[in-house]
Amino acid sequence: MSAQAGHGASVRIETCGKTFADGTRALEPATLEIARGETLVLLGPSGCGKTTMLRIIAGLELPDAGGRVLFDDKDMTAVPIERRNVGMVFQSYALFPNMTVSDNIGYGLKIRGVPEKERAARVAELVALTNISGLEHRRIDQLSGGQRQRVALARAVAIRPGILLLDEPLTALDAALRDRLRGELNRLLRALGITTIYVTHDQSEAMELGDRVVVMQKGKIAQIGTPREIYFTPNSRFVAEFIGAANIVEAAIENGHLVLPGGRQPINGDANIPAAVAMIRPETIRVMAAESAPLSGIIDSVSFIGDRQRLVVSGVSNRSLAVDAPNTVRAKSGERIGLSISPDAVRLLPPES
């Protein structure tokens, strides 16, 4: 493998769609390029086609006629998964129950005819890397969920795959463990530097792990971008609402201002349109005294979260606004409160098609 920016293969999928035998369209024809060493996250609600796309790249599904899958510019469309040299981690982990932990990790090497000594060395390397020392001779049913996840990852990486494919690898774990393993997984993926495609429905996983994120909806790619791009400049209402918390505001525009019931909000750019749909993130809204504020409304509810508090404020826009206020602000429901929003924080969304 080259010592440059990343390891593994580059991936290109061209007009890959998938229609199942019963006529359901799981994936509209999509084209996507993944650079060598990049971590790409496919993100979307269930049924959006992200797993289908992963399975097409893996070779577990054939794309509809006309679709092509290329690894390092080589056409792999007709190559079955066993000869694609991909490492895959399944949502259920799919560890072999009739083998020990080290037999699981070494299975791909055994199939490739790697001599036992070399195999044992590689297994030991991965056991150390994934932090599961001492479990080598355990059976799978003697492992916890987190340990299984590590074994599944070690097994997938052991064969030095060109591409690593992960299908919701943290979904089966409880929340606290998931957060911890997410950080661990992130460090591991960075250390390996291998081309990785990661499927999840969890936007915080996507943000933390992805170099780029592909947001999918109903079998279509809704937006591709870095985590910052999709968070700060979503190109549709769906992406804005799916990634993080978002206030969607509909308002008329006059002289570079949104005209709202609670006041006038300046916006950037030369918006020469009569009305718009805008997105405002709760954490970009500043709270202040009502008298001097450009916008004001009535507090409907206050939820203390710990590091901050979430206020729901009505009367500012056509719908209640979610506002993240510092945890030191004293706010009571029923009170009038002032808000100020930087023009940079208002993102105009294209009208719904």
Partner 1 sequence: MSHRSFVWLCLLPLAVVTAAFFLLPMARLVVTGAAGPQGLAGYLAILTEPRYRATLLNTVLLATATTIVTLIVATVAGMFLQRHRFPGRAILIAMLTFPLAFPGVVVGFMIILLAGRQGLIGDFSNRVLGEKLVFAYSIYGLFLGYLYFSIPRVILTIMAAVQKLDTGLEEAARSLGASPWAVQRDVVLPALAPAFVASGAIAFATAMGAFGTAFTLATNIDVLPMLIYTEFTLAANFSISAALSVGLGVVTWLILALARSFSGSAVAAAG
Give the DSSP letter string of 152-198. HHHHHHHT--SEEEEESTTTTS-HHHHHHHHHHHHHHHHHH-BEEEE
Which residues from 163-182 bind partner 1, rule CB under 8 A?
165
Work out how close the CB of 164 gets to partner 1 at its nearest, in angstroms, rounded to a whole number.
11
Binding mask 41-80 for partner 1 (x = CB under 8 A): -----------------x-x-------------------x
- In the complex, minimum distance from the CB of residue 51 to partner 1, in angstroms, rounded to a whole number: 12
Of residues 82-141, those binding partner 1 (CB under 8 A): 82-83, 85-88, 90-92, 94-99, 107-108, 111-112, 139, 141
Q: Taking the complex as a whole, how short is the minimal distance between the CB of residue 273 and partner 1, in angstroms? A: 50
Q: What separation in angstroms does the CA of 264 have from each of 92, 261, 339?
A: 52, 8, 11
Q: Name the minimum Å distance from CB 240 to partner 1.
A: 34
Angle between helices 116-129 and 145-158 (to 10 degrees): 130
Distance, in Å, from the CA atom of 184 to the CA atom of 146, rounded to the nearest integer, reads: 11
Is residue 348 within 8 Å of 253, Cβ to Cβ?
no
- 83 versus 187: smaller Cβ distance to partner 1: 83
Residues in binding contact with partner 1, number by CB under 8 A: 29
CB 115 to partner 1: min, Å? 16
- Is 70 or 172 the residue whose CB approaches partner 1 more closely? 172
Out of 36, 150, 155, 178, point to the residue binding partner 1 (CB under 8 A). Answer: 155
In the window 243-262, what residues touch partner 1 (CB under 8 A)?
none
Q: Alpha-carbon distance 180 to 37, whole Å?
A: 23
Q: How many whole angstroms from its chain centre is CA 335?
A: 38
CB of 89 to partner 1, least distance (A): 9
In the complex, least distance from residue 29 CB atom to partner 1, rounded to whole angstroms: 24
Q: For partner 1, which is the closer residue by CB, 200 or 203?
A: 200
What is residue 67's three-state secondary structure?
coil
Q: By CB under 8 A, what part of segment 280-319 binds partner 1?
A: none
212-217 sheet: strands from edge to edge: 86-89, 163-167, 195-200, 39-43, 212-217, 220-225
Please give the Cα distance from 316 to 112 (Å, whole number).
Answer: 65
Among 81, 129, 177, 277, binds partner 1 (CB under 8 A): 81
The CA–CA distances, whole Å, from 88 to 84, 124, 169 equal 11, 20, 10
Q: Tell me whether residue 155 or residue 182 sits nearer to partner 1 (CB atom).
A: 155
Question: How near is the Cβ of 86 to partner 1 at its closest, in Å?
Answer: 6
User: DSSP readout, 25-43?
Assistant: EEEEEEEEEE-TT-EEEEE
Selected from 123, 153, 156, 166, the binder of partner 1 by CB under 8 A is 156
Using CB under 8 A, list all residues that contact partner 1. Answer: 58, 60, 80-83, 85-88, 90-92, 94-99, 107-108, 111-112, 139, 141, 155-156, 159, 165
